Amino acid sequence: MPDNNLLTVDELKTYFFTDEGVVKAVDGLTLEVPRGRTLGVVGESGSGKSVGARSLMQLVDPPGRIVEGSIMLNRADGSTVDISSLDPRGPAIRAIRGDEIAMIFQEPMSSLSPVHTVGDQIGEMIELHWGYTKAQARDRVLELLQQVEMPKARGVIDSYTFELSGGMRQRAMIAMGLACDPSLLIADEPTTALDVTTQAVILDLIRRLQESFGMSVLFITHALGVIAELADHVAVMYLGSVVEQGSVMDVFHRPQHPYTRSLLRSIPSLGLEKKRRLEAIRGMVPHPFNRPGGCPFHNRCPEFMPGVCDQLVPPLEHLDAGRTVRCLLHSDVDEVRARQEEQAAAEREAAAGEAAAQRSVGKRGGESR
């Protein structure tokens, strides 16, 4: 069966090894980015959206690193590569970045240089990846600026970024993202810093560009309303993992995870009368240092099952129509308990074996002295 996904992320874990302890920023991220479609990723602040996105391009800085999992990219030439196994500074990932996967951020100045003109910096990327001459690259930059509907594109090409308005900078960054015709554009809250009107204009632009370029878009936001406008599929993140993924229609109309249901109830535009108080999700997102055992959402969940949700880690369950959910309401609890107890026993046994081996090495070391 042909794989219709451009990117398949499986049980990805990205941890930060700090002096204070290990921050499990991404902890078992599983998601699928369909070819030529937009996947929205939504979650509260601190749920691991940005670290997850940066992991997909091997852009996590020390003390962070990918510790487990896979990121399979189906390439245009028919081959497949596991990005998680590539050297973050090696030539293979550098060839993918910008060319096959590009990223745009909330703050354009983090990816645009203040000391080069818009034309020079976008052009340089095209020269580098596509081997264009300066003149060819300049033509392509002008075409891109027109595609992102940059006002006065012919003048902007020779401007510096500080001379542009917020909305124009965002357009320049999008043009830079699109420069090498990537198969995947990752947009990390690209409109959050803009005023509401500019936000709507930029979202509309991204939607139209996705259609005309035919690329996949992974659109990250903390706002479910934006997902409804832009995405075909949605992945809901909580504390470093995806708790529910499916088509926007299915997830919005038949949410299966209590966290998704809480998120949907907390936004005003989806069928709530104005006067009714919005239901905020109770409690705070726990810091990744203090992740609760069992289901990470159990201390906030309205459907918490004592003795179950605080003891068992919800496995990924596949529902109908390509939907996935991580909630024990959808699992066979006895089966999960038996499996996890077996696994814990095997881990205890392995640890005991290792400790015994170390003791025996220590003893031999002592004897040889």
- Give residues in contact with ligand SF4 (CB under 6 A): 257-258, 295, 297-298, 301, 303-305, 309, 314, 327-329
**Of these, 5, 30, 38, 47, which contacts ligand ADP (CB under 6 A)?**
47
329 binds, among Mg ion, ligand SF4, ligand ADP, none (CB under 5 to 8 A by kind): ligand SF4
Least distance (Å) between residue 330 CB and ligand SF4: 8
How many helices (H) and strands (E) in the chain? 11, 12
Report residue 125 as tokens. Answer: 């990327």
- Name residues whose C-beta falls within 8 Å of residue 31's C-beta, 6 or more positions apart in sequence: 8, 9, 39, 41, 235, 242, 245
Q: Which is nearer to Mg ion, 49 or 326 (CB)?
A: 49
Q: Is 170 in the site for Mg ion (CB under 5 A)?
A: no
Alpha helices in the chain (DSSP H): 49-56, 91-96, 118-130, 134-147, 153-156, 166-178, 196-213, 224-230, 248-253, 258-265, 333-368
138 binds, among ligand SF4, Mg ion, ligand ADP, none (CB under 5 to 8 A by kind): none
Least distance (Å) between residue 263 CB and ligand SF4: 12
Q: Is 140 in the site for ligand ADP (CB under 6 A)?
A: no
Q: Which is nearer to ligand ADP, 55 or 121 (CB)?
A: 55
Q: How many CB atoms lie within 10 A of CB 15?
A: 21
Number of chain positions touching Mg ion (CB under 5 A): 2
3-state secondary structure of 185: strand
Least distance (Å) between residue 160 CB and ligand ADP: 29
Q: Residue type at 268?
A: P
Least distance (Å) between residue 328 CB and ligand SF4: 4
Binders of ligand ADP in range 270-329 (CB under 6 A):
288
**Of these, 28, 40, 64, 167, which contacts ligand ADP (CB under 6 A)?**
64
47 binds, among ligand ADP, ligand SF4, Mg ion, none (CB under 5 to 8 A by kind): ligand ADP
Query: Is 228 within 8 Å of 250 (Cβ atoms)?
Result: no
User: Which of the stretches 45-53, 139-147, 202-210, 252-260 binds Mg ion when contact is defined by CB under 5 A?
Assistant: 45-53
Residue nearest to Mg ion (CB): 50
Query: Is 237 within 8 Å of 42 (Cβ atoms)?
Result: yes
| CA pair distance 167, 271, nearest whole angstrom | 31
Binders of ligand ADP in range 22-41 (CB under 6 A):
23, 25
Q: Is 74 in the site for Mg ion (CB under 5 A)?
A: no
**Of these, 28, 40, 48, 167, which contacts ligand ADP (CB under 6 A)?**
48
Q: Is 49 in the site for ligand ADP (CB under 6 A)?
A: yes
As a whole number of Å, the CA-based R_g of the chain is 23
Number of chain positions touching ligand ADP (CB under 6 A): 14
Of 297, 349, 285, 359, which Cα lies nearest the Cα of 327? 297
Residue-by-residue DSSP string for 35-50: TTSEEEEE--TTSSHH
| CA pair distance 169, 125, nearest whole angstrom | 17
Residues in contact with ligand ADP by CB under 6 A are 16, 18, 23, 25, 43, 45-51, 64, 288
